[in-house]
Amino acid sequence: PEKANLTGYGNAYKTARAKADAYAAAAGLHIVRVLSIRDGGTGGELPQAGDMTAMPVAPPPVVAMQSAAPPVMAGTNNGVV
């Protein structure tokens, strides 16, 4: 399996580099060197909590506030001021 993985890595790099070169060319740029490569793994695995750098956070709940009725001065029976 290790030899197959190594062959797969080479093919994956060539494919990724070709895509990166195409994106760069479309933007009028040129790739000089690769700074990092991150292996996506074999797939089907969920990342462990310690491996995550950013966790999605749900927005705060929306709470409906009932507005208080406007004050009415004692002795009046209409809203005309």
* pLDDT (tens digit per residue) in 16-46: 899 999 999 999 999 998 888 877 665 555 5
Q: What is the 3-state secondary structure (H, E, C) of the chain?
A: CHHHHHHHHHHHHHHHHHHHHHHHHHCCCCCCCCCCCCCCCCCCCCCCHHHCCCCCCCCCCCCCCCCCCCCCCCCCCCCCC
| Nearest partner of 43 among 12, 10, 76, judged by Cα | 12
Output the pLDDT for position 55: 64
* pLDDT (tens digit per residue) in 6-21: 888 888 889 989 999 9
Residue 28 neighbours by CB under 8 Å, 6+ apart? none
* pLDDT (tens digit per residue) in 40-66: 665 555 556 655 566 667 777 776 666
